Homo-oligomer: A and B are copies of this chain.
């Protein structure tokens, strides 16, 4: 993409309402704009990052055997009455009436709708197990929308639901999703912990939260200094300093952002909404369910919360809207423009995602914008263009290397491999 054509604008001023780094940077770097409290537009490069997370989720969930569908956002109130949640969900559930005065909820979550679907579709144990997921806008009227995408009222979510014949089946489906979540968040470049969230009825492993570690997070966890054990702080009244229940090493506390949640529901919804199957003896049995959410827009904000510095965003490679930021230092210089254009075409042909800063701006403006946008590698074509030399900046380390343009593909490949090992 040529930056002159890109619908994009960086902001110099930090809006007053932006309290967190990710919120400030997403506004300043031109990823999002606010329409109303907790309601955002995704501008082109913001949407591209979001779509990269979506693609990772689709790949990993398809690999795990889950199947994508798309449920409606408008839910008849009757379904929420059947489950008992119409009255208990409170003002967070947005409600409206159609032209015939029939009541609807705007989908905040989809247990009711997906269970009603399964009640119609599943008749026999032979059709089970099955896990379905969707990627969809959700609506929750938060009391205090804030922190940009971290706590919005309209946000993008992946929700999945598993359906099994037995508790053992549910545990296998749950484990498969739990493993997929690890792969997803690792590929997103997130520093996260899977946290035991509730020691409820099923033995301490029936629900996990996935927490991206971040000082501004609203969740507090304890995690072991030696083993992977981690838990919601509510499970550990004393907290920090206690001994790990698994290995005995001292526990530490940390703040974090909830980016995912996996939950063994059991038969709560299937009983209430009549989702039953005939088992191999012909008896009618309620389906065992699990539900699994990922806050996609929140994961994007969490990634930026974790990966930024004073100059701007420092994208994890897989999420970066562009991998390479090709910068013509002086657009009026024919040698620089010519070499840039040749490189732009070659790098695109090699399959890289390239943004070419071909704007007639001062070098200082271009460099500052490039650091703010924070794509992994910057390739500056400047004074040494006539000698076929580019100045290459690695955004994460800040290291600048002069390279013959012939050596660029190798260097990019090396940097990409290193970045995947981080």
Q: Which chain A residues have a beta carbon within 8 Å of chain B's beta carbons? A: 5-7, 9, 33, 35-36, 39-44, 46-47, 50, 65, 67-76, 91-92, 94-96, 98-99, 104, 106, 113, 116-117, 120-121, 127, 130, 132, 137, 139, 141, 143, 153-154
CA distance A75 to B139 in the complex (A): 13
> Given A9-B121, A36-B76, A141-B98, is A44 in contact with B71 using a C-beta cutoff of 8 Å?
no
Residue of B nearest to A43 (CB): B69
> Given A120-B33, A137-B137, is A69 in contact with B96 using a C-beta cutoff of 8 Å?
no
> Given A96-B94, A143-B99, is A74 in contact with B44 using a C-beta cutoff of 8 Å?
no
- Is B35 touching A72 in the complex (CB atoms < 8 A)? yes
Q: How far is the CB of A88 from chain B (nearest CB, A)?
A: 16
CA distance A35 to B92 in the complex (A): 22
> Taking chain A's interface residues, is the majority helix, strand, or loop, or is none over half, making it mixed?
mixed
Among B33, B35, B106, B141, the residue within 8 A (CB) of A76 is: B35
Chain B residues, Cβ within 8 Å of A44: 67-69, 132
* 15 intermolecular pairs with C-beta atoms under 8 Å apart: A7-B130, A33-B120, A33-B121, A35-B116, A36-B104, A41-B71, A42-B70, A43-B69, A44-B69, A47-B68, A47-B70, A74-B153, A96-B96, A106-B106, A137-B137
- Is A132 touching B7 in the complex (CB atoms < 8 A)? yes
> Given A35-B76, A40-B72, is A65 in contact with B154 using a C-beta cutoff of 8 Å?
no
Chain B residues, Cβ within 8 Å of A47: 68-70
Nearest 10 CB-CB pairings of A with B: A96-B96, A91-B99, A42-B70, A44-B67, A39-B72, A36-B76, A7-B130, A7-B67, A99-B141, A35-B72
